[in-house]
Chains A and B, each alone.
Chain A
């Protein structure tokens, strides 16, 4: 079955880290990456993320797979930037009306690297955290429990929905529906029977799931929920929080230094 879950099961320190700490890491890194348009910093984050993932024993083949995914995007971003900033100096390449300048190349590489770094920050989080823990992290940071449950149910039902979709495609093809012939617009229109059946089936099953949850007293008034897997901040979590704080302070002094743009 197709998996929509990036999580790689493991028992490394990064896997065991409190999901709230990882969430904080993602938030801090995202802000810093957006605030600090600095190539050395961005490359540092990229390298750091790789080190983290390797220390969490994520196999190199998985990292390679992620790069195979990211590479076309990276190249595309650089290419899109090349013809911009035609006023810059020096000019690297000029033909017809296009002028590729060094600042454009620099900017393109910067934006692409930033995108990759941002993606890897999220990969560090998603590859080493179970869906259940991701949701629990949000809930313990104040997201209402019902929202968290809805989120995890939605994630949990993605593969179900996918196999439902395939069943429906098969059912309609067995009735003579030809999905692969003709022009694009006609093909899209012919998906309609599939989409309607999918929607109806999905609504029906979501209603059933809702009823089943209510039948098990979800949302009963005056209940204090306990949790089977409770979260406790341990020593490793404390150390990581400290490291994140130091990183934040250092970056802030760097950002606010006199003469910073």
Chain B
């Protein structure tokens, strides 16, 4: 079978009732296994685009297909097993009496057998480090744990694509590390990841493709290295490249490449530079 794209948007226009266009002429093609970051300032339409991808919203004009099927002909519950969506606010989905039941909700909706549901609960608990709170009421857990429960609950449905709407908002450094580590291993196992975030360092460190939304349109669609090289376009959309990229660019005249994305890359380039010059690269640069 030929490689079928997972999600295809063709000329999508979308407006909420009684409002102006939120998305204008958005076209997009996501293959299986991609790791895409959707960025843009508040109100740019990131969440709206995500909801169009899993059928919660339908395009006003144009069409969205998931695995070749038009979302207009499918109900969200039919798409749930293909495109999972973890909401911006975990409290919008948490309702069950225990974490186990919360995780079981999705798989049961898919009509899976009891043994399979149980296996998936345990696997999801382990993956997100939730074993200790497995029988606690999730609504009473800390915010970071509630976020993980929300993620685990959607993950347990084993969707091919996972949309994560600001999964690190309100989390401390360690929790961000844990959550994004789990996401990275999901990607390594073949899941498609669609990450919505305002954290550019996260985008630079993890995503393979960046989609910038600005004024309802896709302003940029490129791998992070190329995307973050376009400072003017990012700037026009109210964003800046990650700090380390900006620092490297400011130091370009000292011989550092201008398109570094992570601290590790920076260190490697810096050490290489220092070795080549055998003295501090800063001298003479002023």
Residues of A whose CB lies within 8 Å of any CB of B are: 164, 167-168, 170-178, 180, 192-194, 196-197, 200-201, 204
Contacts and interface: CB of A to CB of B under 8 A. Distances in A.
Contacts, number: 73
A201 B81 contact: no
B91 A204 contact: yes
Given A170-B51, A175-B154, A197 B95 contact: yes
Interface stretch (B29-37, B72-80, B122-130, B233-241): B72-80
A204 B87 CA distance: 18
B139 interface: yes
Given A167-B89, A167-B92, A176-B110, A200 B139 contact: yes
A175 B56 CA distance: 11
Nearest to A172: B93
Contacts of A196: 95-96
A175 B105 contact: yes
28 contacts: A164-B92, A167-B87, A167-B89, A168-B92, A168-B93, A171-B85, A171-B92, A171-B93, A174-B54, A174-B76, A174-B84, A175-B80, A175-B93, A175-B154, A176-B77, A176-B80, A176-B81, A177-B77, A178-B77, A193-B95, A193-B105, A194-B95, A197-B93, A197-B94, A197-B95, A200-B91, A200-B95, A201-B92
For the complex of A and B, the 8 pairs showing the least CB-CB separation, nearest first, are A176-B109, A176-B80, A196-B95, A171-B93, A197-B95, A174-B85, A178-B77, A173-B76
A192 B84 CA distance: 21
Given A193-B105, A200-B139, A174 B91 contact: no
A204 to B, nearest CB: 7
Q: How large is the interface on B (under 10, 10 to 19, 20 to 34, 35 or more residues)?
A: 20 to 34
A197 B109 contact: no
Contacts of A180: 75
Nearest to B139: A200
Tell me if A's interface is mostly helix, strand, loop or mixed. helix
A171 B90 CA distance: 9
Contacts of B93: 168, 171-172, 175, 197
A105 B157 CA distance: 61
B106 interface: yes
B153 interface: yes
Contacts of B56: 170, 173-174
B92 A197 contact: yes
B259 to A, nearest CB: 36
Contacts of B91: 197, 200-201, 204
Nearest to A167: B92
Among A164, A174, A194, find the residue whose CB has the most chain B CB atoms closer than 10 A. A174
A123 B230 CA distance: 57
A120 B139 CA distance: 45
Nearest to A193: B95
B83 to A, nearest CB: 8
Interface in B93-116: 93-96, 105-106, 109-110
B77 A171 contact: no
A175 B109 contact: yes
Q: Most chain-A Cβ atoms within 10 A of its Cβ — which of B81, B85, B92?
A: B92
B38 to A, nearest CB: 17
Contacts of B89: 167, 201
Given A197-B94, A200-B91, 5 more contacts: A174-B154, A176-B110, A177-B77, A197-B91, A200-B95
